[in-house]
Chains A and B, each alone.
Chain A
Amino acid sequence: MENLIIANKEFTSRLFTGTGKFSSSQLMEETLLASGSELVTVALKRIDLNANEDDILKHLSHSQFNLLPNTSGVRTAKEAIFAAQLAREALETNWLKLEIHPDPKYLLPDPIETLKAAEELVKLGFIVLPYVHADPVLCKHLENVGVAAVMPLGSPIGSNSGLQTKRFLEIIIEQSNVPIVVDAGIGAPSHAAEAMEMGAAAVLVNTAIAVSDNPILMAKAFKMAVEAGLMAYEARLAKPKNFAEASSPLTSFLQDL
């Protein structure tokens, strides 16, 4: 299988993961190791920069893991830019999952503020991966301001509802020149496989793994599903036939000419 490249960084695994919602940091570490994930997102708000050794970061210090700080909690572009700078300083990485959700109930991303912040952050040298609605036009705008990838949602965060935005994800994947990472709403390995079969570059999964009764086993299931989905995409899925074959073809008269 082909490796994924984002901003000159090569990833063997197409499964990106989150670090929230686990019952312990120890279990988070074991689970993420089992997932094979090479990019893990960490909320700035959960990290204790004043502590000698932050409990979450301590458990992520494996060479396998690249950190993707996220701006969860911010409501505006201004707040996001400030938080991003704090994260860059603290975690010593330019990578950033830009998420701006002024709506704390459904945690839906703000397209206007996200575009504003993305443009500014790219200028500031960040490798920006914005979390957005499955909005094809917005994704194009983001691509134009120089984001490294876009992360459209499959359905609301933590909803486990799968690819409710499928039709729009298809358009985004078809039109995009940057990798598409389907983020949010992936509740089962089959959802992840579906996204990969469609041509997503990667998926990001947190709740479905962390909240499972057996997170380690579930992480392995997702790893395999993502690999299977990618293989199927590379092998080109046999398409279901759209048309029955008519017994007397409509264009057969052309051969008579």
Chain B
Amino acid sequence: MFTQLFDTFNWDEIKKSIYSKTIVDVEFALNKTSKRDLEDFKALISPSAIGYLEKMAYLSNRLTQKRFGKTIQMYAPLYLSNECQNICTYCGFSFDNKLKRKTLTDLEILKEAEAIKKMGYDHILLVTGEANQTVGVPYLKNAIKLLQPLFSLISIEVQPLDQNEYEELIMVGLNTVLVYQETYHKEDYKLHHPKGKKSNFNYRLETPDRLGNSGVYKVGLGTLIGLEDWRTDAFSTALHLSYLEKKYWKTKYSISFPRMRPAEGIIEPKVIITDKELVQLICAYRIFNEEIELSISTRESEHFRNNIIKLGITSMSAGSKTNPGGYAVEKESLEQFEISDERTPQEIEILIKSQGYQAVWKDWDRGIQLVK
């Protein structure tokens, strides 16, 4: 399990080591022709690398095109429920927030799915809070079964599950699981997750191990940027990724970079990452790992998204609604967070085209997965 490896690392030491990287380390990492390692990654995310942004962007652009071509994959989130028994200080769905709770019925799921289909989507991400009584494995299994005939690729971003539960969902058509650690800072994690199952740091940390064992096709990693020093969190993510790639070599991985967004009843971010630094982070991941998928959501602004397409990103959402029923059923219910880029998928497709890229709506086939 990753916890054994993770426990040999000390947060403050990692942080110190990142911040003491010099331009010599950065240049060494950039000029390397062999595989870059975790020390190179530290240099690339360090403050010393900020002066090399143009060079990093160029390298990231070339490496990404070589692997992924001039394409951007499109996906849409479908929020199934905002019921949640966790208290998370940064989330609009937090248990202690007074809001109308809603879990979609079968009919509502299909209605939302129809609206998403009409937007052109074929890859869908199902999102819920953590409410095991109402939105547990049977609910998710039913939702996947309902949606499986309509979409080529189904992902989930829900509470961490046990290995056999993942296996159950894969059997009915689950492809990808996103499970963000939020922060790898153990003490701060506890502060931000004071109540609910989510407060168990190690159970969450070992989720990708359980996923790897379950044989899921793809695992999405990431942290919520704003909770703790983003550089140390990014290194921890990269460490986690390297561990997983070696151990669960049949699984594909992706990374996301959610920045804290305004939402009902949430805390202010402790740290701010600038646009410049976020570009640095994205490029650093690409230069470190040429095969990793990098995803950007509608949390980011139009201006940022317009310009990030060429810099290493491989997948994007557009026209997203972050409230259950938001596409068709109940458009005005409370969102998990405010989205920043409200343009339609078609507007985004035109944008992608104008940057010399192709929006890809389908890159998977149900026939490949032998769904039972």
A residues adjacent to B (C-beta < 8 A): 20-25, 44-48, 71, 73-75, 78-79, 82-83, 86, 102-106, 158-160, 207, 210-211
* A105 touching B249, Cβ below 8 Å: yes
Asked if A22 and B69 sit within 8 Å, CB to CB, the answer is yes
CB of B356 within 8 A of CB of A105, answer no
Residues of A within 8 A of B68 (CB): 21
Give the chain A neighbours of B65 by CB distance below 8 A.
21, 211
Would A23 and B70 be within 8 Å (CB), given that A46-B362, A48-B122, A48-B362 are in contact?
yes
By the criterion CB–CB under 8 Å, are A45 and B291 in contact? no
Q: Is the CB of A21 within 8 A of B71?
A: yes
In the assembled complex, the Cα of A86 lies from the Cα of B65 at a distance in Å of 30
Taken together as a complex, chains A and B put the C-alpha atoms of A23 and B368 apart, in Å, by: 25
Question: With the chains together, A74 CA to B368 CA distance in Å?
Answer: 6
Task: List 13 interface pairs A-B (beta carbons < 8 Å), by A numbering.
Answer: A21-B69, A22-B70, A22-B358, A44-B367, A44-B368, A45-B152, A47-B362, A78-B370, A104-B291, A105-B245, A158-B67, A159-B66, A211-B70
Closest to A80 in B: B368
Give the secondary structure class of A's interface.
loop
Q: Please give the residue numbers on chain B whose beta carbons come within 8 Å of chain A beta carbons, in ascending order.
A: 65-71, 122, 152, 217-218, 245, 249-252, 291, 353, 356-358, 360-365, 367-370
Give A193 to B14 CA distance when docked, in angstroms: 49
Contact of A103 among B152, B250, B360, B369 (CB under 8 A): B250
B250–A82 CB distance below 8 A? no
Q: How many Å from the CB of A164 to the closest CB on chain B?
A: 14
Cross-chain contact B291 with A207 (CB below 8 angstroms): no
Q: Which residues of A contact B370 (CB under 8 A)?
A: 78-79, 82
B367 near A82: Cβ-Cβ < 8 Å: yes
Contact present for A25 and B358 (CB under 8 Å): yes
A207 & B250 in contact (Cβ 8 Å cutoff)? no
Q: Which residues of B contact A82 (CB under 8 A)?
A: 367-368, 370
A73 to B362, CA, bound (A): 13
Cα-based distance from A21 to B360 in the complex (angstroms) = 10
CB < 8 Å neighbour of B367 from A78, A83, A210, A211: A83
Top 10 A-B pairs ranked by shortest CB distance?
Answer: A21-B69, A23-B70, A104-B252, A86-B367, A45-B365, A73-B368, A211-B65, A105-B291, A102-B250, A23-B356
